Amino acid sequence: METSLIILKPDAVQRGLIGRIISRFEDKGLQIVGAKIMRISPELAAQHYKDHIGKGFYDGLVRFMTSSPVVVLAVRGVGAIAICRKLMGATFGSKAEPGTIRGDFGVSNSFNLIHGSDGPESAERELALFFGPGEVIEWKRATEGWVYDLSGGKAE
């Protein structure tokens, strides 16, 4: 099982897409194990986007991410990181395929609705930035055996 950080960005929140986007992850069979609505501080944005400091888009990105509330999610499942990234679609809405979150809800090359961890190491780092101890919860879903084939003793 993997856990990915997902951020529904200010444009998704302002456009009232929270429920529709979360449904995409749940419909796929992924489990929401952490969720909160928050405002990202400039300090937290600087930590989260530290790899982009000094790039031409950095200041605008921080302004955008701190301009309005966001929803942060911890999403878990077998291969969750790759699955989440496929569900999100290409970075720019104008290039994202129909059927993806960005392809169905976005046209902008600046506002792209959603962030998802790009690998296990970044997921671990990002989850620690946005969730404190005890805020990502382990829980058993009653439907787990209908999401994954558990006949071999592990989720497939």
Catalytic residue set:
115
Query: Do the beta carbons of residue 93 and residue 113 sit within 8 Å?
Result: yes
Say how far apart CA 105 and CA 17 lie, in whole Å: 9
Q: Give, in order, the Cα–Cα distances in Å from 112 to each of 84, 104, 128, 129.
A: 15, 11, 23, 21
**Buried-exposed string 56-80: b where 16+ CB fall within 10 A, e elsewhere:** eebeebbebbbeeebbbbbbbbeeb
Amino acid found at 146? W
Say how far apart CA 33 and CA 150 lie, in whole Å: 20
Say how far apart CA 71 and CA 69 lie, in whole Å: 7
